[in-house]
């Protein structure tokens, strides 16, 4: 049962990150289409945002494994 909970936590973290990354990239493309001269600045902010969003599934994996193997066993 612990493995199922870990799989759900990891899956939801990955789902949220996928949605977040899609929104970040789509808004960046919209911004570049509106103001092409700000391409470099918008890309920099996008990469920082994507990096922060990608931290969420990594933290979810760590917590899931921690609770599965340390606290449940």
Burial class (CB in 10 A: 0-12, 13-18, 19+), 14: middle
Residue-range definition of the domain harbouring residue 8: 1-70
Q: Are the CB atoms for 28 and 40 separated by under 8 Å?
A: no
CA distance 73 to 66: 10
Q: Are the CB atoms for 60 and 13 separated by under 8 Å?
A: yes
CATH code of the domain covering residue 7 = 1.20.20.10
Residue-level pLDDT, tens digit, the chain, 73 residues: 778 888 898 999 999 999 999 999 999 999 999 999 999 999 999 999 999 999 989 998 998 888 888 876 6
How many domains is the chain partitioned into structurally? 1
Residue 2 CB contacts under 8 Å (≥ 6 apart), including other chains: 67, 68, 72, 73
């Amino acid at each position: 049962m612990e493995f199922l909970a870990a799989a759900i936590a990891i899956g939801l973290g990955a789902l949220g990150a996928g949605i977040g990354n899609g929104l970040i990239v789509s808004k960046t493309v919209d911004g570049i289409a509106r103001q092409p001269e700000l391409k470099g600045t918008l890309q920099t902010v996008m990469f920082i945002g994507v990096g922060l969003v990608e931290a969420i599934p990594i933290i979810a994996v760590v917590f899931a494994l921690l609770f599965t193997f340390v606290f449940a066993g």
